[in-house]
A and B are shown apart, each in its own frame.
Chain A
Amino acid sequence: MVTTREAYFRAMADALPAETLVVTSLGNASYLWAAIRDRPENFYVEDAMGLALPLALGVAVARPDRQVVVVEGDGGLLMHMGGLITVGAAAPSNLTVLLIQNGVHAASGGQALTNAGLDFAALGLAARLKGARNIETADSLRPALAEALEGSGPMLLALATAPDPEVVVPPAGFDPVATKRRFQDAIEAPRYVPILFGGGRLEPRRR
């Protein structure tokens, strides 16, 4: 019995501390996570296939005080495999990569993946991540995620699953700019304060 994406996501919802920042890739990665655990600390990437991982790397670099979890697909990772190499080089200890390994491009209807069945844990280790593991059950995800969130990353957990071509309907339509602002408000990201005729600066938010 193959573990479903939903079973992994429910385990993730149980295991993630409230303050964890979560970046999800296009398609059901974002739609299902929004349906299960919509929260301001989520950043949903719609479209931009393969760019959730490098975006999450940027968040992790900017916010070393917060744990960042990114949910990326195997198709997306193959599209921008260099991102994994950069994660290994930048080595942010606060980044965990959850890789949905379903062997297809699910978001575009289930077309076969180029070279499906790769050992992504081996690829992660070759990219010099601190740890990488292939996961097959939701029960084994929970302790692996807890270990990753102790801050010894970057860590990659490749979650074996089956394609789920039926599109999950999220609780509300995604507004990209609203998603961004909600996330930045939640983490109290410095805000740009303009000055008349230029020269504005990013300034910490006043509580």
Chain B
Amino acid sequence: MNAVHRPSEVLETLERIGVTVAVTVPDGWLGEFLVRIERAPWITLVRATHEEEALAISCGARLGGARTALVIQNVGLLSMGAGMVCLAQRYQFPLLILASYRGTPDDPVFYHVPKGRATEPVLRGLGLGYAVADRDRPIGPQVESAATYAEEASCPFVLLLGREDVQW
């Protein structure tokens, strides 16, 4: 049993790898996680109104030279398709996307189920690289690997996170 507080580990990893801008749209699992980001002196949090807008803000921050993390619920991956292909992929922005994976059997809120069912097929349809966080392995290295993949491949990369990874 891993006793490490996984959301803390995610946050510590973002700091260690030099992420200085986080762009977010709220989700129930992410609430306190986002508050912690907002309080951290080493990172700027931008709260956007919609995930496609958040994606564009991330692209702009990366264009300006900041390493970024887009922190959203997986429903945002369904709603940001146009911006993903027309902006992030077309211009080859390396973006780390951390998405809470709602609608899995672990999610007690069952209206998320359709989103959970659609998420991975949509990611494959968009040609996006992604991974589902492995709860039996430390989360920090998984976040770092996702960020490295994005940079090395010059494209967005999605890490789908479980409740234990982000709910504080």
Whether A54 contacts B57 by the Cβ 8 Å rule is yes
The segment out of B40-48, B99-107, B128-136, B156-164 that lies at the interface is: B40-48
The segment out of A12-20, A58-66, A137-145 that lies at the interface is: A58-66
CB of A199 within 8 Å of the partner chain: yes
Contact residues on B (Cβ < 8 Å of other chain), bracket: 35 or more
Complex Cα distance, B17 from A45, in Å, reads 29
The segment out of B28-36, B109-117, B143-151 that lies at the interface is: B143-151
A53, A63, A86, A183: residue with the most chain B Cβ atoms closer than 10 Å:
A86
Q: Which residue from chain A places its CB closest to the CB of B87 in the assembled complex?
A: A48
A198 touching B145 in the complex, CB below 8 Å, given contacts A85-B49, A192-B151: yes
Number of A-B residue pairs at CB separation under 8 A: 137
Whether A47 contacts B86 by the Cβ 8 Å rule is yes
Whether B49 contacts A61 by the Cβ 8 Å rule is no
CB of A200 within 8 Å of the partner chain: yes
CB of B61 within 8 Å of the partner chain: yes
8 Å CB contact of B61 from A58, A176, A179 = A58
Complex Cα distance, B93 from A45, in Å, reads 13
Complex Cα distance, B87 from A58, in Å, reads 13
8 Å CB contact of A59 from B50, B60, B67 = B60
Complex Cα distance, B114 from A25, in Å, reads 34
CB of B90 within 8 Å of the partner chain: yes
Closest 9 CB pairs of A and B: A58-B60, A62-B64, A82-B49, A189-B65, A58-B61, A54-B56, A55-B60, A62-B66, A51-B56
Whether A86 contacts B148 by the Cβ 8 Å rule is no
A58 touching B65 in the complex, CB below 8 Å, given contacts A83-B53, A199-B148, A200-B148: no
In the complex, what's the smallest C-beta–C-beta distance from A21 to chain B, in angstroms? 8
Complex Cα distance, B23 from A43, in Å, reads 21
In the complex, what's the smallest C-beta–C-beta distance from B108 to chain A, in angstroms? 29
A55 touching B59 in the complex, CB below 8 Å, given contacts A176-B90, A189-B65: yes
